[in-house]
Amino acid sequence: MLRLIFSLSALAAGLASSGAFAAPSADGPHGVRPAEGGVLMLAQEGNIDIYYDARGNRVLVDADTGKVIAIQPPGSRLDRRALRRQRMQELGRAPAEDDDRYYLDNPEDMARFRRRQLEENGRVIPPPVDEYDPNSGDNSVDAYPPAPNNDEGYATTYPGEPNSNTIKRQPLNEASIDPEQPGQGEVLQTNPEASLPPNTGGKASVDPSLSLGVRQDVAALQVLLDRGGASPGVIDGRFGSNVDKALAAYNEINGTNLKSTDAVGIQAALAQSGGDAFASYTIMPEDVAGPYVASIPEDYSQKAELDCMCYTSVTEALAERFHMDETYLKSINKGVDFNRPGTMIKVANFGKLVSTPVTRIVADKTKKEVYAYDGSGKLVAAYPATIGSADTPSPTGIHAVSRIALDPNYTYNPNINFKQGQNDKILTVPPGPNGPVGSVWIALDKPTYGIHGTPDPSKIGKTESHGCVRLTNWDARELAKLVSPGVTVEFVGGPTIAEVGGTSTDELTQQ
The residues that are catalytic are 452, 468
Q: Compute the distance between CA of residue 167 and CA of residue 184 in angstroms, rounded to an integer.
A: 18
Query: Which residues lie across from 429 on neighbouring strands?
Result: 410
CB contact at 8 A, 467 and 502:
yes
380 alpha carbon, distance to own chain's centre: 35
Q: Compute the distance between CA of residue 462 and CA of residue 242 in angstroms, rounded to an integer.
A: 9
Q: What letter would DSSP give residue 501?
A: T
Distances (CA, A) of 102 to 50, 106, 173, 176, 252: 17, 8, 78, 73, 76
Angle, CA 305 vertex, CA 300 and CA 308 arms, to 5°: 95
Q: Which element (helix H / strand E) includes 491? A: strand 488-492
Question: How many other C-beta atoms are found inside a 10 Å radius of the C-beta of residue 476?
Answer: 26
First to last CA, the chain: 151
Q: Where are the alpha helices (DSSP H) in 126-240?
A: 216-227
331 alpha carbon, distance to own chain's centre: 10
Nearest CA to 391 out of 506, 505, 500 is that of: 500
Q: Compute the distance between CA of residue 477 and CA of residue 457 in angstroms, rounded to an integer.
A: 13
Q: Compute the distance between CA of residue 79 and CA of residue 49 in angstroms, rounded to an integer.
A: 19
Q: Compute the distance between CA of residue 277 and CA of residue 184 in angstroms, rounded to an integer.
A: 13
CB contact at 8 A, 384 and 323:
no
Q: Compute the distance between CA of residue 72 and CA of residue 145 in angstroms, rounded to an integer.
A: 54
Q: What letter would DSSP give residue 146?
A: P
Angle, CA 390 vertex, CA 389 and CA 392 arms, to 5°: 60
Question: How many other C-beta atoms are found inside a 10 Å radius of the C-beta of residue 71?
Answer: 14
| 2 phi and psi angles, rounded to 5 deg | -65, -40
CB contact at 8 A, 383 and 479:
yes
CB contact at 8 A, 305 and 202:
no
Q: Compute the distance between CA of residue 215 and CA of residue 220 in angstroms, rounded to an integer.
A: 9
